Amino acid sequence: MEGYQISEDDKTKIRETFDVTESEVKVRIKQLQKWAKDLPHLPQESQEEAFLEIMLLRGKFKDEFVKPNIENYFKCLAKHPDIFLKLGKFKPSEEVGVVVVSPKFTSNYERIVVLKLSPKNLATKKFDINQMILVVVTTAMIMYNNDYLPSIRFVLDFEGISVFDVFKVNIRDMFKLVYITEKMLRIRISGFELINTPRILTAILAIAKVLLKPKMFMRITAHSDLSSVYNNIPKECLPSDYGGGSQSSENLIELWDHILETQHQFFEKIAILAKHQSEISKRKT
């Protein structure tokens, strides 16, 4: 994926953190292909080598995690086809709620992702949390299936968001996002760094406490300014408009315009899978 390649050397080091080698991964993939082939409810896509290698990483290379994760991936497509049929049908640079993915990762292999509002688009469009959920899930699906890094650290920038916006959030829709994140997109979230939150912090934390498991809630850190963010995230891994050494948020969002164009076939495939898995699920019930 352009701009986000992980070197083979880094892949080797990442595998070493889980005490596995490349040759062991190849053997495990063959075993998983045989396992998936023997399960008629799993689609052909469950046997693809690239998919299984990513699933091994997301499941920490442990069968007790990997196999349930593979099954949950396709169950989730069936449970929320309304979301998966809409993914990728937008242009990131034209959105109000945007996702900024830093190409530079930390020394312990964390990907830094900023969720924020786009000031230039906010002037002409209203912020829509449902649309932002689609933007987040679209981006997450691409990263999940392509990025070999094992964890993400989020920076949640609430500049421009009011208490009124927070209380417009539909909890049911947010539970969908949490469900997809926990059951399907099994990327480890190492932390949430909250900035620009003084007036709405209490409301945000109240919603987060309802949505998140206690272990995940404990990973939330609210910051009064960027200086304390740098204690958790190296400067070079943040966009330049956050005092970092990566490209600006605007440039990175424009890069994702191109990335989404290259993922057109992938999202067509996801839409077909979601529809098919949903139909199978309905027939069973």
Q: How does pLDDT run across 62-77, given as a tens digit for each residue?
A: 989 999 999 999 988 8
What is the structure's pLDDT at 245?
93
Task: Provide the pLDDT confidence category of residue 182 given band limits of 50, 70 and 90.
Answer: confident
Q: In the structure, what pLDDT confidence band is assigned to residue 275 with cuts at 50, 70 and 90?
A: confident
Residue entry with tokens 């050397």: 9
- Domain extents in the chain: 8-82+273-284, 92-262
**How far, in Å, CA of 146 to CA of 54, rounded?**
8
Averaged pLDDT, 247-264:
95
195 has which bridge partners? 157
The sign of the dihedral angle between the CA atoms of 9, 14, 20, 24 is: negative
Q: How far apart are CA 83 and CA 176, in angstroms?
A: 9
Q: Is residue 284 over pLDDT 80?
A: no
Alpha carbon 19 to chain centroid, angstroms: 25
Q: CA 221, CA 156: separation in Å to the nearest integer?
A: 10
pTM above 0.85, yes or no: yes
Mean pLDDT for all residues in the chain: 91
Give the pLDDT confidence of 81-121 residue by residue, as tens digits. 888 898 999 999 999 999 999 999 999 999 999 999 998 89
How far from 108 is each of 124, 149, 190, 234, CA to CA, in Å? 40, 9, 11, 11
Question: Which homologous superfamily does the CATH classification assign to the domain defined by 92-262?
Answer: CRAL-TRIO lipid binding domain (3.40.525.10)
pLDDT of residue 285: 62
Is pLDDT above 80 for 164?
Answer: no
Residue 100's pLDDT is 97
Output the six-digit token pair for 168.
Answer: 């417009």
> How many whole angstroms separate alpha carbon 15 and alpha carbon 22?
8
Residue 53 has pLDDT above 80, yes or no: yes
The pLDDT of residue 168 is above 80: no
Q: Average of pLDDT values for 150-177?
A: 84
Are the CB atoms for 238 and 246 separated by under 8 Å? Answer: yes
Is the pLDDT score of 25 beyond 80? yes
Whole-angstrom distance between the N-terminal and C-terminal Cα of the chain? 39
**Average pLDDT of the residues in 195-216:** 85
* Over residues 208-233, mean pLDDT: 91
The whole-number pLDDT of residue 282 equals: 73
Residue-wise pLDDT for 122-135, tens only, equals 888 888 888 888 99
The mean pLDDT value for 157-167 works out to 82
Number of C-beta neighbours around residue 71 at 10 A: 15
> What confidence score (pLDDT) does residue 192 get?
95
Residue 48 in 3-state DSSP?
Answer: coil
pLDDT top residue among 169 and 117: 117
Q: What's the CA gap between 166 and 127, in Å, rounded?
A: 11
